[in-house]
């Protein structure tokens, strides 16, 4: 995926990011609420309002920089808070809460792919749904990276042995910087792109 400057494409990126991240974060909050924790609701995050979920760096600046530099947007929203003491099923409940966000993006990508295949391959709608699918796959893959604080780390944590859990707790304050380092200083960015393409190839 490459950066284009025509208004239709830029509008597609912006709309997709706003809608997809709002649904992603809402699903975290919704599943947490259903599992017994009202923390997200109490701070206004059980909402589809994207303004409640946007982080200026991770949601706005980071995707622009990564889209320009590696050809694929890497982005995230403000983490949805939860109290693990309130979550049913302990660590497995927390894993379900974490997985809900990326899985919502996968569902959105599948729906977008079905719509894209059903309409004429020209014009704004086709451009929009093509980008909608690509970005939601990117959100699905990136958020499943098992490095704290990304969602994949919470899923891994539920099944990890105690020494690995302790290690993940220790690196969590620096986790996002570790991910950025891996993307820009190693071949990790290419791995992400290849995984994105593999998932795109499986879609309808």
Residue ranges per domain, the chain? Answer: 7-202
Token code pair at residue 116 = 């894209």
pLDDT over threshold 70, residue 3 = no
Model confidence pLDDT, tens digit, residues 10-41: 888 889 988 999 999 999 999 999 999 999 99
In whole angstroms, give the CA distance from residue 44 to residue 112. Answer: 28
Residues 6+ apart with CB under 8 A from 124: 8, 12
pLDDT over threshold 70, residue 72 = no
Closest CA to 139 of 52, 22, 24: 24
pTM for this predicted structure: 0.88
In whole angstroms, give the CA distance from residue 52 to residue 25. Answer: 9
Q: For the chain, what percent of residues have pLDDT higher than 70?
A: 96
Q: How confident is the model at residue 67 (pLDDT cuts 50, 70, 90)?
A: confident
Token code pair at residue 131 = 């980008």
Does the bond joining 149 to the residue before it have cis omega, within 30 degrees of 0?
Answer: yes
Q: Would you name the residues annotated as active-site residues? A: 25
Q: What is the mean pLDDT of residues 154-161?
A: 95
pLDDT, averaged across the chain: 89
Model confidence pLDDT, tens digit, residues 116-143: 999 888 888 998 999 999 999 999 998 9
């Amino acid at each position: 995926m490459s950066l284009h400057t025509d208004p239709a494409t830029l509008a597609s990126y912006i709309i997709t990011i706003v809608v997809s991240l709002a649904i992603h974060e809402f699903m975290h909050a919704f599943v947490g609420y259903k599992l017994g924790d009202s923390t997200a609701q109490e701070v206004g995050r059980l909402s589809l309002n994207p303004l409640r979920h946007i982080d200026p760096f991770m949601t706005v600046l980071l995707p622009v920089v990564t889209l320009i530099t590696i050809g694929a947007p890497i982005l995230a929203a403000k983490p949805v808070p939860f109290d693990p003491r309130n979550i049913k099923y302990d660590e497995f409940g927390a894993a379900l809460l974490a997985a809900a966000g990326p899985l919502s993006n996968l569902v959105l990508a599948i729906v977008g792919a079905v719509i894209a295949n059903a309409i004429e391959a020209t014009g704004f709608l086709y451009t929009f749904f093509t980008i909608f699918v690509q970005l939601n796959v990117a959100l699905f893959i990136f958020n499943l990276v098992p490095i704290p604080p990304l969602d994949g780390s919470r899923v891994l944590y539920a099944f990890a042995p105690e020494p690995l859990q302790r290690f993940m707790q220790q690196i969590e304050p620096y986790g996002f910087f570790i991910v950025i380092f891996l993307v820009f200083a190693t071949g990790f960015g290419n791995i992400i792109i290849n995984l994105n393409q593999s998932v795109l190839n499986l879609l309808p």
